[in-house]
Structure 1
Amino acid sequence: MGLLDLIISSTLAHPLLTFPIIAATLLLSLGIYRIYLHPISPIPGPLLPKVTSLWLWYHSYIGDEASIIHALHTKYGPLLRVSPNEVDISDHEAIPAIYVTKGGFPKAACYSNFDIDGHKTIFSTTDMDYRTPRAKAVVPLFSTKSIRENEAALYGCVDRMVARMKEEKEARGIVNVLNLARSLAVDAVSTHLFRENYNGTSEKSSKLSASAFVDAFVAVGRFFYLPNLLFTWVEWASEKFFPDEHTNESMAVVDRFVEGLVNNTPAKGSLNYPGRLMELRLLEQTELKAQCKDLLFAGTDSSGMNLATIFRQLVLHPEVYESLRKEVLDNTGPQRQEIQSLPLLSAVVREGLRISMANPTRLPHVVPAGDWTFKGAYFPAGTIVGCSATELHFNSIIFPNPRSFQPERWFNATQEAQKSFFAFGAGSRSCIAKNLAMTELYMATERLVLSDVLKGARVVQEEIEIYEWFNSKVEGEEIELVWEKKAERS
């Protein structure tokens, strides 16, 4: 008796089994198709992700996605099938096609899960007709010229951060540099782009008032790969049944800051971020606020994590710290060079970005019409493909001993290493604020080393554990440094 005959006879004998049997048959057929007949079935990977996206959703949710995929690449090679229609690529040679050439492939639909208050943002939108005029309006604010003109104000933010670290060191002997770095990040973004300082470094509480707001958006990354409709239901259920009073309070603080900012920006003549967007006459006020909140979130989270990582690594490597201190001290005279030209400072910043895992997971884009072939592998239109900073930055062939902080690897970096640097993505959809972020990292590292406040510090946590979401979340939300008390030193 054939399978079809068996199904028919079973359903006739037991009518109540009709639906379950048909459903099981369809699922079995779908599984066989995805494993053996799907256009990307030749791409290697474990069995489960070939059959269902649940595998990817699960690892994304629990926060070990980047580590699991990294281990699987070791077993299966540079092309790894991570869901029925998605491939993770551990090869920098895929970057130009996916992200750069002719604007790269379109962003995957899951980016819309990062919409804010029901509005698309410059980051989250997949619609280039929507993004282009908005991005074009604000891009001048991120130029080297604009940042240089505002250098004094940015250094003011950095100096207040250093002063705050000194205060906490003397008062408590321990500093959560993640919180301090986040405070500087929100101050730098607001000062430069909004022309109004959030004053995070002036807050005396143990946690930045905007932190819970930032963490709430970081947590969206748990559900990043969900289909948009399913994500909407999950988000609604989370807010409905698991409200968080602390998060709501932080949201309210940020809302008041942004509302005041937008309300006080004239409709014409203002050169700040909301003012430039207002000139477009395309935005409702609610969307304008959403764009500002998106910038505050992005500018605070990733930059804060990157900067805290650099501080921690300098404490762990006192020989690098002392060499860097000599370099920046030698650069304080009348012949002072641009700090971006200092070789060791540049190497420290770049190496910190390489290992920080601020954004550890893949940046998924969609193969457009016309299909794509990469190194003999065929990807039909609609396939989701992408590279991640984790895979590129921890490639042991390109970066020997990849988990180790070795700034010197950037002194004479190979072309392969340069091409594998992916801290800000690549192409037209790369981080719009990367110039500002880099300037902030250079300034903060320079001034912190000049102050010598890190002298005598040691790290508290042996390892920094993170949830590997689209934006990483540090477990416990602390990266701490500790100094011996004066009484103990005496």
Structure 2
Amino acid sequence: MSTLPSLLHPLLPTTLPTILLTLLLLHLLHLLLYDPHRHLPGPWHARLSPPLWLHHHAYTGDESTQISRLHRRYGPVVRIARNDVSISDGAALAPVYAEKGGFLKAQCYRNFDFEGRATVFSALDVAYRAVRVKAVGSLFGMGRVRAGAGVVEACVERFVARLEGRRRRKKGGTRVDVLGLCRALALDAVSSYLFGRGFGGLEEEEEEEEEGGFSAGGFVDFFVAVGRFFLLPPWLFEVVDGVVGWVVGPDWEAEESVRVVGEFARGLVEGVGEEGRDDDDDDTFQARLLRAGIEKEEVKVQIEDLIFAGTDSTGMNLSMLCWNLARHPHIYRTLRDEVLAADAQDPTGTYHPLTLPYLTATLRETLRTSLANPTRFPRVVPPQGLAFYSPQAQKPFFIPPFTTVGLQPHTLHFNPAVYPEPRKFDPERWLRAPSAEMQRDFFPFGVGARQCIARNLAMMELALAARALARSGVLVGAEAVGEEVEILEWFNSRVRSGRVELVWR
């Protein structure tokens, strides 16, 4: 028996690679033969594990473009990873996101937790989220938002004044970044309306020599960058986040911005009941959560989450509105004519801007093309699976249980079968009897029970800003810089250059 190791030893160098290769081939054969998704079309690499292709494109910021290309090649249902399926047929929106409350969010949403706590956005537990939404939900209803429009309009007036000041100072071809200014407006509007205290971003923008330097900018960019790792399993996200932080080192500017926003949020929580009002009379977002029994540390986190979401997406959409109006002067003239005519009929200016057809169409076209959130909103298929008929493919599909499935605005909004000349910025398309498919596939805020809770507030901000931009004439003579605004296609898109620029001649 003692001679057995010595007899085997010469064989190990040659047999070990063979054994490993055999095990690998057997594993791949098992994946192929016992694959519940093998009937779904898609590239060969989607059958393998792990989903390196998907994570690579998520990190490099072209995930949405690559998935749209797969749909053009393989059709409306595409397997993009071993357990991931993308759908481009809007007929699937209702069963995935709306019917019976929609499918549950995928585990990767936990990567958007703040300070280890689930937010109204990132929560997977329906009951956990319901308690918080019940406490604050009425603040986001359209009737309530319209009643508080004066607070938002005051912020919009300061925004237009800042933009007008830059127009005067920079006239003559100097580039002006409007992204930072639009973010500042979005932050001031959401904080003034929901928290009862403005952040003061527009005042910071006025004081800054360089545009885009307001103190919450680093905070927003920091959490936008989380999107490059959004699809990772939460346990791996924690590992990667730690490794990246160790390798790259601290970003002192971002950390200072996170600290400033955190102090603002903490001050809002601690200030409940300290301004001469009874707690029961305080109708702010933070007071409502505290009355619902939510502990202070979590309320602070929920505030930070709203600051991020309310600043980034609306800031992006508003900056793209400015850019597109400058790029298309005839659209700006038509919008301006409509607003001035409405002002003449109602000199008080109290009419709701969304009653103006061309203004509303311009906003819808902005939301369709700006891609503030371009990627899939992933959900988990329930135990019974997903069976749906695709009008695009003219055949039924079955998605197995527990598959991660989703649709993305990038593909839906640029589908030429639904939106002819999809890359063209054309508000008129919404005035020419838009098809049912156009209405259905319009997907900027999501759909169903988990769609953006602040969508009505965001639309009010955009509508009031569009009216003020038209009324003031501040964009007369403005030109958009560049043929397009290039973005990194993370969950929240990021402008590659960090700037959305205009010039006044």
Tell me whether the two structures share a fold, i.e. TM-score over 0.5. yes
- Cα distance in 1 for residues equivalent to 2:260 and 2:455: 26
Could you say what secondary structure the match of 1:428 adopts? coil
Counterpart Cα distance in 2 of 1:313 and 1:159? 20
Q: Distance in 1 between matches of 2:253 and 2:16?
A: 47
Note the 1:88-237 alignment, pairs <5 A: 88-173=86-171, 174-203=175-204, 204-205=207-208, 206=211, 207-237=213-243
How far apart, in 1, do the equivalents of 2:332 and 2:473 lie?
A: 9
Match of 1:241 in 2: 247
Q: Contact between 2:374 and 2:410, CA under 8 Å: does it hold in 1? A: yes
Cα distance between partner residues in 2 of 1:90 and 1:410: 21
| CA distance 1:364–1:19, change in 2 (3 Å) | farther
1:142 CA displacement: 0.5
The Cα shift of 1:377 comes to 1.9
Question: C-alpha displacement at 1:12, in angstroms?
Answer: 8.4
Match of 2:303?
Answer: 292
How big is each residue's C-alpha offset from its partner over 1:172-201, in whole Å with a ceiling of 9 and x where there is no partner? 233211111111110111011101101111
Counterpart of 1:383? 403
Q: Distance in 2 between matches of 1:423 and 1:29?
A: 44
Distance of 1:18 and 1:314 partners within structure 2? 69
The reply on whether 1:65 has 2:63 as its aligned counterpart is yes
Q: Quote the offset at 1:269 in angstroms.
A: 3.5
**Contact 1:269 1:275 survives alignment (8 Å):** no
What 5-or-longer segments of structure 1 have no aligned partner? 1-10, 485-490
- Does 2:495 match 1:441? no
* Maintained 8 Å contact 2:149/2:460: no
**In 2: Cα distance, 1:414 partner to 1:229 partner:** 44
Which is further off, 175-184 or 352-361?
175-184
Q: Which piece of structure 1 moves more, 468-477 or 38-47?
A: 38-47
Query: How far did residue 24 of structure 1 move?
Result: 4.0
- Residue pair 1:34, 1:84 contacting (<8 A) in 2 also: no
User: Which of 471, 474, 487 is the matching residue for 1:466?
Assistant: 487
The total of aligned residue pairs comes to 474
Report the Cα distance in structure 2 between the residues aligned to 1:405 and 1:21, rounded to whole angstroms.
Answer: 59
Aligned to 2:331: 320
Within a 5 Å distance, the mapping from 1:268-347 to structure 2 comes to 268-281=280-293, 283-335=294-346, 337-347=351-361
Distance, in Å, in 1 between the alignment partners of 2:221 and 2:155 is: 22
3-state DSSP of counterpart to 1:139? helix
User: How many angstroms does 1:328 deviate by?
Assistant: 0.3
Measured in 1, the distance between the counterparts of 2:164 and 2:322 equals 14
> Given the superposition, is the C-alpha separation of residues 402 and 16 from structure 1 closer, same or farther in structure 2, using an over 3 Å criterion?
same
Deviation readout 1:254-285 (Å, 9 max, x if unpaired): 1111111111013544211111111111x222
Which of these residues, 26, 39, 45, is aligned with residue 42 of structure 2? 45
Greater displacement, 294-303 / 25-34? 25-34
Q: CA deviation at 1:27?
A: 3.6
Cα pair distance change 1:75/1:333, threshold 3 Å: same
Quote the residue 2:471 is aligned against: 450
Cα distance in 1 for partners of 2:453, 2:489 equals 22
1:320–1:265 CA distance, 2 compared to 1 (3 A): same
| Secondary structure at the counterpart of residue 485 of structure 2 | coil
SS state of the match for residue 120, structure 2? coil
Distance in 2 of aligned mates of 1:400 and 1:357: 18
Quote the Cα distance in structure 1 between the aligned partners of 2:487 and 2:101: 32
Q: Does 1:404 align with 2:424?
A: yes
Tell me if the contact between 2:325 and 2:331 (Cα under 8 Å) persists in the aligned partners.
Answer: yes
SS in 2 for 1:385: strand
1:55 to 46, 53, 56: 53
> Are the structure 2 counterparts of residues 104 and 27 from structure 1 closer, same or farther at C-alpha, using a change threshold of 3 Å?
farther
Distance apart, 1:48 and its partner CA: 1.3
Name the CA distance, whole Å, in 2 between partners of 1:22 and 1:110. 35
* Residue 268 (structure 2) aligns with: 261
Contact 1:181/1:308 (8 A) holds in 2: yes
Q: Does 1:373 align with 2:384?
A: no
| Structure-1 separation of matches of 2:87 and 2:14 | 43
SS in 1 for 2:283: coil
In the TM superposition, residue 16 of structure 1 has moved relative to its aligned partner by: 6.2
C-alpha separation between the residues in 1 aligned to 2:482 and 2:32? 43
Alpha-carbon deviation of 1:339? 1.2
CA RMSD of aligned residues (A): 1.7
- Please list, as runs of the form range in 1=range in 2, the aligned pairs for 1:6-25 lying within 5 A after superposition: 14-15=11-12, 23-25=20-22
Distance of aligned partners of 1:22 and 1:374 in 2 relative to their CA distance in 1, 3 Å threshold: farther
TM-score, reference length from structure 2? 0.91
Cα pair 1:35 1:47 within 8 Å, conserved: no
- Greater shift after overlay, 41-50 or 359-368? 41-50
Task: Tell me what 1:3 maps to.
Answer: none
Task: Judge conservation of contact 1:40–1:378 (CA < 8 Å) in 2.
Answer: no
Quick one: which amino acid aligns to residue 471 of structure 1?
A: N
Give the gaps of 5 or more residues in structure 2: 1-7, 274-278, 390-395
Q: How does the TM-score come out when normalised to structure 1?
A: 0.93
Q: Give the match for residue 8 of structure 1.
A: none
Aligned to 1:431: 452
Q: What is the alpha-carbon distance in structure 1 between the residues aligned to residue 442 and residue 16 of structure 2?
A: 52
Cα offset, 1:116, TM superposition: 0.4
Indicate conservation of the 8 Å contact 1:165/1:175, yes or no.
no
Q: Deviations over 1:439-460 (max 9, x none)?
A: 1000001101111010001112
Aligned CA distance change for structure 1 residues 338 and 117 (closer, same or farther; 3 Å):
same
- 1:355 aligns with 369
- CA apart distance, 1:37: 3.5
Larger mean CA deviation between 466-475 and 170-179 belongs to 170-179
Give yes or no for contact 1:393–1:421 (8 Å, CA) kept in 2.
yes
**Aligned 8 A contact 2:324 2:480 in 1:** no
Does the Cα contact within 8 Å between 1:357 and 1:472 map onto a contact in 2? Answer: yes
